[in-house]
């Protein structure tokens, strides 16, 4: 064994190989032959079978000393060939398995890998990546459009869009609506559509549903050309249950824990990764680095972090404790810290985002300070409370106003993204539009109001596809969105509103520059539960960059509604959620206000407005005098 191979195997086996995809898997050599390496430490024998040898085990691999890594070199393989790995276990039985490092798989329901052709793809996103490095993401607007590629749009015959079709139609749509990023549900290869990609097996392959590797790269490149970032959901906690994938890969527990009770994820119907095993760490960190480095992905949203970092999250595991007597999964916590530390060391300008719903302290705290090291955490508490509040009949909102104000108690504990995601519009939960109370007019009014509240609240923001125009049907992964809705005037007006609100957000530094700092929000009137109204000011870094926001959460117009402000002068309305162009009833109304030297709610000056029923106003300084 050469020194290079010895070092590569050592790094992989000690959990220090963070680009193991360069060593393991199938690789084209300069002379036209292929080298295959597979990690299967307890196997008795390994062979590659496929189209090139009539699926007979004629090409056998040999283990590199005692590394657990098997290798073979052959010149009988060609691009486009299908192949699998035949594993002979300790009991003498043979199993056909996937290549864990394959870059391309056949279309479902098969799981055979495909020998990829040599890539000819060239990137054109140098300027975009340069801008990404120069200005940190926490200083930029982050408005994410979450999309499931398989059901955003479909062809007339109900077939999936290709990556090229998605680039042609999704990119201009997202850009026109003013989103800064898209977030894609897992794009790694998977068999079951209903899993949405969260039961994955191809950790180095984009799903074949939409095309091949080069098609996917071109999709990313074209998004970057329009200055749109890409976040991908990533699933390092668990994998598909199928026996021809990673489960008992060498005939014994390889990627999963030895203990079947610990290995089985009952709630999700998957197998848990053994996150304390060094080789599994190398595999998963390498997968994350692969998408970030080789596919130029701008960030990863890590799925199911709560399930990873606690021992008792699954059914029947309430009693499990660690050696300290608590429910933390110490190995998973250490792995998560390693994953984030490696990513930040190599690619400090990408985003690592946690889908995490527990009170765990330090999710977005740096790893060198004892935190998990994520850049952002999904604020699931804000999401649950906000949706619960808006689903209520307005008559009861005054008695449950704490659902809105509670988030102010912890909004700077972590760096948050405020998500209205796919999980909230599926499995009988109803669409966001359908959740809103009242008749159709009032449902749209409430939806506009909720979106205005989302945008004004400290934190970056995310919205799932279809919600932008108020689709009434809840999301179905097996069919396209209800684009016919846009033939309806009220849905078109809702889409116009989302467009205007999104562009106002990206153009207003006050709404994003200080999301995670106390200086970014000035409380003016947030405790008036009796009237179900609220006002606060979002403050940018520059003193003149601020936005006054006022919300009325009941269908009763508030006249002579007083708003306190810090400086004297003239202020103007830049957004009224009840404007006629958005589907509201307001046409010719006063939009400019002059302050009076009347102190109100801790502010030295004030002015009065008419606050629309079930509506919100965004008000900016027009001409003010600053001390």
Catalytic residues: 303, 355
Residue 69 CB-density burial (10 A; 0-12 exposed, 13-18 middle, 19+ buried): buried
CB atoms within 10 A of CB 297: 22
Distance separating alpha carbons of residues 410 and 393, to the nearest angstrom: 27
Distance separating alpha carbons of residues 377 and 459, to the nearest angstrom: 10
Tokens of 97: 């398995």
Cα-based distances in Å from 428 to 431, 435, 476: 9, 11, 11
Alpha helices (runs of H) in 300-439, residue ranges in sequence order: 305-309, 330-346, 380-391, 402-405, 432-435
Distance separating alpha carbons of residues 572 and 622, to the nearest angstrom: 6
Distance separating alpha carbons of residues 282 and 624, to the nearest angstrom: 57
Tokens of 307: 């399930």
List strands edge to edge, sheet with 264-265. Answer: 238-239, 270-272, 264-265
Tokens of 14: 């000690």
Distance separating alpha carbons of residues 127 and 115, to the nearest angstrom: 32
Angle in degrees, CA 259, 261, 266, rounded to 5: 140
Nearest C-alpha neighbor of 234 from the set 368, 352, 364: 352
* Residue 225 host element (H or E): helix 213-225
Distance separating alpha carbons of residues 38 and 69, to the nearest angstrom: 6
- Report the half-sphere exposure of 126 (CA within 13 A, side-chain side): 3
Residue 366 CB-density burial (10 A; 0-12 exposed, 13-18 middle, 19+ buried): middle
Distance separating alpha carbons of residues 312 and 314, to the nearest angstrom: 6
Distance separating alpha carbons of residues 449 and 548, to the nearest angstrom: 15
Angle in degrees, CA 345, 346, 351, rounded to 5: 85
Can you list the positions of beta strands (E) in 356-402?
Answer: 376-378
Tokens of 383: 């999401």
522, 510 Cβ separation under 8 angstroms: no
* DSSP assignment letter at 96: E
Burial 559-576 (b: 16+ CB within 10 A, else e): eebbbbbbbbbebebbbb
* SS3 assignment, position 142: coil
* SS3 assignment, position 270: strand
């Amino acid at each position: 064994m050469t020194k290079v191979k010895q070092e590569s195997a050592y790094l992989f086996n000690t959990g220090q190989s963070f680009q193991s995809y360069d060593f393991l898997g199938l690789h084209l050599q300069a002379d036209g032959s292929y080298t295959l390496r597979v990690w299967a430490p307890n196997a008795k024998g390994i062979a590659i079978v496929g189209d090139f040898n009539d699926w007979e085990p004629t090409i056998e691999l040999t283990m590199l000393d005692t590394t657990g890594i098997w290798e073979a070199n052959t010149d009988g393989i060609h691009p486009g060939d299908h192949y699998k790995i035949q594993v002979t276990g300790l009991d003498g039985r043979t199993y056909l398995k996937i290549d864990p490092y394959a870059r391309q798989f056949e279309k479902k329901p098969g799981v055979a890998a495909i020998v990829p052709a040599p890539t000819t793809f060239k990137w054109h996103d140098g300027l975009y990546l340069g801008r990404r490095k120069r200005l940190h993401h926490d200083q930029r607007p982050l408005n994410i459009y979450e999309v499931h590629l398989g059901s955003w749009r479909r062809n007339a015959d109900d077939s999936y869009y290709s990556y090229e079709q998605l680039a042609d139609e999704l990119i201009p749509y997202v850009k026109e609506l003013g989103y800064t990023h898209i977030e894609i549900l897992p794009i790694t290869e998977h068999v079951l559509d209903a899993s949405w990609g969260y039961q994955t097996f191809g950790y180095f392959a984009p799903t074949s549903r939409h095309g091949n590797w080069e098609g996917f790269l071109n999709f990313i490149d074209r998004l970057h050309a329009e200055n749109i970032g890409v976040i991908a959901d990533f699933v390092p906690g668990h994998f598909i249950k199928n026996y021809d994938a990673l489960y008992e890969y060498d005939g014994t527990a390889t990627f999963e824990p030895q203990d079947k009770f610990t290995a089985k994820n009952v709630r999700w119907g998957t197998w848990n990764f053994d996150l304390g095993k060094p080789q599994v760490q190398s595999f998963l960190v390498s997968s994350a680095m692969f998408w970030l480095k080789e596919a130029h992905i701008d960030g990863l949203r890590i799925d199911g972090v709560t399930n990873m970092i606690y021992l008792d999250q699954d059914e029947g595991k309430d009693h499990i404790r660690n050696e300290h007597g608590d429910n933390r999964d110490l190995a998973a916590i250490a792995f998560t810290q390693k994953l984030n530390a490696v990513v930040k060391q190599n690619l400090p300008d990408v985003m690592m985002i946690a889908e995490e719903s527990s009170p765990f302290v330090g999710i977005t705290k740096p790893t060198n300070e004892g935190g998990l090291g994520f850049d952002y955490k999904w604020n699931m508490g804000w999401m649950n409370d906000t949706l619960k509040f808006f689903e209520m009949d307005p008559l009861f909102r005054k008695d449950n106003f704490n659902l809105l104000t509670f988030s102010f108690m912890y909004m700077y504990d972590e760096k948050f993204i405020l998500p209205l995601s796919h999980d909230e519009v599926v499995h009988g939960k109803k669409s966001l539009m359908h959740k809103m109370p009242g008749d159709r007019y009032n449902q749209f009014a409430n939806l506009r109001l909720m979106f205005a509240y989302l945008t004004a609240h400290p934190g970056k923001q995310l919205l799932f596809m279809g919600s932008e125009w108020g689709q009434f049907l809840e999301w179905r992964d097996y069919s396209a969105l209800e684009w016919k809705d846009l033939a309806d005037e009220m849905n078109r007006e809702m889409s116009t509103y989302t467009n205007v609100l999104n562009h106002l957000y990206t153009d207003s530094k006050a709404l994003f520059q200080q999301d995670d700092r106390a200086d970014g929000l000035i409380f003016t009137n947030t405790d008036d539960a009796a009237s179900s109204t609220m006002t606060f000011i979002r403050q940018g870094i520059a003193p003149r960059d601020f936005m006054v926001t006022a919300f009325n959460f009941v269908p009763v117009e508030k006249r002579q509604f007083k708003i306190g402000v810090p400086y004297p002068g003239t202020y103007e309305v830049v957004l009224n959620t009840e404007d006629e162009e958005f589907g509201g009833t307001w046409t010719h109304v006063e939009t400019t206000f002059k302050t009076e030297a009347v102190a109100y709610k801790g502010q030295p000056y004030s002015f009065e407005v008419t606050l629309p029923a079930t509506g919100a106003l965004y008000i900016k300084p027009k001409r003010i005098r600053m001390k």
